[in-house]
Amino acid sequence: MEKLDKFYSVAPMMGKTDSFFCYLLNLINKKTVVYTEMMHAEAIIRTNILDDYNYLNNINNVAVQIAGNEPSRLALAAKKAAEKDFYEININCGCPSNRVVSGSFGINLLLNPKQVRRCAEEISRYTNKNISIKTRIGVDDYTSENILDNFLVELNNASINKYIIHARIAIREKLNTKDNLNIPPLDYERVFKLKKKFKNNTIIINGGFKHTNYNENIKRKIDGIMIGREAYKTPWIFNSDLTYENIEKKKYIIYTYIHFLKNNFEKYLFKKNALFHIQNLFNGYDGAKNWRNLVAHSVRSKNLNNLLNFIECDKLKVI
Ligand SMILES: Cc1cc2nc3c(=O)[nH]c(=O)nc-3n(C[C@H](O)[C@H](O)[C@H](O)COP(=O)(O)O)c2cc1C
């Protein structure tokens, strides 16, 4: 299996990068760092939501993303996550959804760096895990470069060294969450400029990246690339051995994943999302449509045997 360095990582995505997807990514490439979907500090503190990650072998390659704005609550949540040995604690300072904005966390925090600093300092008192921040290049009319620059200056004072920057602004209220992922234009140059200014920080760029073969030109300008939607659609990109022709290895990975799900569902609850993760992974192959239908059927029947049979009977082929 190719040793992909930590240059590429998988973005946090609600409803997508759950513990099952983290498990699947680990089967694809043990070295890839995956960010969990955003979890609110209160959910982490008051529920057993983190226990879903107990069965991962790669927990130390999984970064937990926490949302909130209360230093003591974020710290408590981070402590709970650190006890599970997550790779990194990431604070969400970029989500523009109405619910998040009305709770004054997510993207609102870009305009309140002192509060994020207090949160980071409090988290550091409870754990020595690395802390990172995910944010955007601006919000609404606050697009002056000073906004993001000052944000980093303030957080550098709390010894935060890693920043993941979604290279577009967010527009609160006027755009919904989905449009906020597509309509504001990408501005990679802004992120490259940030790296030039904050040379000692690790700056990861995010937004619109589609593969894991970017050339040296971009590697000179930035410390890493985070991939979201494409990582979910085609996680195979995280292992260069998994070419179109290498379908046998892909089948083996999915077979292993389904076995894992079978055992997991026997012990815990059936989770349909875990199956949605693999529904489109054979698109482009002969048999893909039958595979998709079979996955949909398994979601309804909660029976995974027909999926295992389908793979065993060699019904998926290169066209
Ligand atoms: C379905 C979905 C859910 C997302 N959930 C989160 C989230 O929980 N936390 C977060 O910081 N960003 C979230 N994002 C934003 C992604 O992390 C990423 O910044 C964005 O998709 C841009 O990267 P991409 O163009 O590679 O997809 C989400 C995006 C999508 C598509």
100-136 pLDDT tens trace: 999 999 999 999 999 999 999 999 999 999 999 999 9
Total count of domains within the chain: 2
Could you tell me the distance, in angstroms and rounded to a whole number, from the CA of residue 243 to the centre of ligand 1? 25
Do the domain assignments include residue 55? yes
Do the domain assignments include residue 287? yes
Domain co-membership, 262 together with 222: no
Domain co-membership, 289 together with 199: no
Domain co-membership, 224 together with 251: no
pLDDT of residue 5: 67
Do the domain assignments include residue 25? yes
184 lines ligand 1 (CB under 6 A): no
User: Stretch 282-300: mean pLDDT, rounded?
Assistant: 97
Do the domain assignments include residue 137? yes
Averaged pLDDT of the chain: 96
Crossing angle of helices 247-267 and 305-312, in 10° steps, is: 160
pLDDT of residue 1: 45
Domain of residue 159, residue span: 8-238
Helical H runs in the chain?
A: 19-28, 41-46, 71-83, 98-102, 113-126, 145-156, 188-197, 216-219, 229-233, 247-267, 272-279, 288-301, 305-312
pLDDT of residue 2: 46
Q: What is the pLDDT of residues 87-105, one digit of tens each?
A: 999 999 999 999 999 999 9
275 or 314: which leads in pLDDT: 275
Domain co-membership, 134 together with 69: yes
Domain co-membership, 20 together with 58: yes
Catalytic status, residue 95: yes
- Closest-CA residue, ligand 1 atom 29, reads 13
CA distance 124 to 134: 17
Do the domain assignments include residue 319? no
Domain co-membership, 98 together with 182: yes
Do the domain assignments include residue 306? yes
pLDDT grade for 156, boundaries at 50, 70 and 90:
very high
Domain co-membership, 277 together with 218: no
Do the domain assignments include residue 63? yes
Could you tell me the distance, in angstroms and rounded to a whole number, from the CA of residue 283 to the centre of ligand 1? 22
Domain co-membership, 85 together with 171: yes
Domain co-membership, 232 together with 93: yes
Domain boundary among 238, 264, 279: 238
Read off the tokens for 211.
């593969």
What is the pTM (predicted TM-score) of this model? 0.97
Whether 209 shows a pLDDT value over 70: the answer reads yes
pLDDT of residue 314: 86
40 lines ligand 1 (CB under 6 A): no
Helix (H) / strand (E) containing 165: strand 162-166
Crossing angle of helices 113-126 and 71-83, in 10° steps, is: 40
Domain boundary among 189, 212, 238: 238
Do the domain assignments include residue 183? yes
Q: Which of 93, 95, 119, 313 is catalytic?
A: 95
User: Stretch 200-223: mean pLDDT, rounded?
Assistant: 96
Whether 145 shows a pLDDT value over 80: the answer reads yes
% of residues, the chain, pLDDT over 90: 96
pLDDT of residue 6: 84
Helix (H) / strand (E) containing 9: strand 8-10
Could you tell me the distance, in angstroms and rounded to a whole number, from the CA of residue 37 to the centre of ligand 1? 9
pLDDT of residue 229: 98
pLDDT of residue 4: 53
